[in-house]
Amino acid sequence: MKKYLVKRLLQIIPVLFIISFVVFVLVYMAGDPVALMLPEDASESDREAMRAALGLTDPFYIQYFRFVGDLVQGNFGTSFRYNQAALPLVLERLPATFELAAASMVVATLMAVPLGIYSARKQNSLVDLFITGGSVLGKAMPNFWLGILLILLFAVNIQVFPVSGRGTIVHMILPAITLGTGIAAEMTRLIRSNMLEILNQDYIRTARSKGVSSNILVYKHAFRNSLIPVVTIMGLQVSHLVSGALITESVFSWPGIGLLLVQAVNGRDMAVVQAAVFVIALLVIVVNLITDLIYRLLDPRINYS
């Protein structure tokens, strides 16, 4: 187990290396920031002095190493829009995003687990067709459009929920449903196929043949065993969760890291873009690692090599 953990932690290094390299190359290609930093009437010698002071005249690889050195120290530069260090700006948005992500996962699980199990039990029935069709529709429908429709229905036509913002639990309902349904669409499908596979296994057939009732069979024998893949499925949804959060936060003006990142990209606020991208990437990697570990703890059949 320890060996496996070390191996996984070591695998993170090339990932971080690639992200840092890609981001650096892009920012390097973006051109000269000095023009934006000095007043219009600055002379060419002033610009040269500024470039030298910032180290922009150094060779490519030296600039890259300096960039990585800054990253390791958590120094992403200053946001010109907020005029403060970028990293704390990003970190203070984290609680809002965690809150939304957790609520969406709850919504997704509450929808996907019962629906997935039910449609597997009644395979090829009308309800199954309806649920499977619904999950395809959920995949085809853009997440943000669902958000807009929910606002239209529940915040504009029947005014039960607020249109946007964060504060009370009521603010959280529409964004959590928006993000949660998108994830539930994929999850339902996976749980259904998982459950179908388990229901066709020998030990279930044996239990059925000795007269175990259908409910006990499903919930005690099959569902417990289908939980293990469900953990992996939830882990797989992290990527969806991130891209979904970016857009859902923008639809509902939810003050999380996704909204901050989108605004920073729009405003070309590179320090914030870099900080947000690194923080999100690191989070995704950590969450994936944790789900992987849980999966291994739950299923003793997997060896740690």
Q: Which residues bind another protein (CB under 8 A)?
A: 11, 14-15, 17-19, 22-23, 26-27, 29-30, 136-137, 139-145, 148-149, 151-152, 156, 239, 242-243, 246-247, 250-251, 261-262, 264-266, 268, 270, 273-274, 277, 280-281, 284-285, 288
User: Is the Cβ of residue 148 or residue 212 nearer to another protein in the bound state?
Assistant: 148
Q: Which amino acid is at 236?
A: L
| Residue number with CB closer to another protein (113 or 271) | 271
What is the nearest approach in angstroms of another protein to the Cβ of residue 33?
12
Residue among 113 and 258 whose Cβ is closer to another protein: 258
Give 144 or 223: the residue with its C-beta nearer to another protein: 144
Query: Least distance in Å: CB of 263 to another protein?
Result: 10
**What minimum distance in Å lies between the beta carbon of 199 and another protein?**
14
Chain mean position to CA 52? 40
By beta-carbon proximity to another protein, the closer residue of 112 and 280 is 280
Closest by CA to 90, choosing from 300, 240, 273, 225, is 273
How is residue 291 written in tokens? Answer: 């789900």
Give me the least distance between CB of 256 and another protein, in Å please: 14
Instruction: Report in angstroms how near the CB of residue 284 gets to another protein at its nearest.
Output: 5
Collect all residues with Cβ–Cβ distance below 8 Å to 260 and sequence separation of at least 6: 89, 90, 93, 272, 276
Q: Closest approach of Cβ 304 to another protein, in Å?
A: 19
Rounded Cα–Cα distance for residues 142 and 144 (Å): 6
Closer to another protein by Cβ: residue 15 or 62? 15
In angstroms, give the least distance from the CB of 81 to another protein: 13
The end-to-end CA distance of the chain, in Å, is 8
* Nearest by Cα to 223 from 196, 254, 202: 196
**Comparison of 113 and 247: residue with beta carbon closer to another protein:** 247
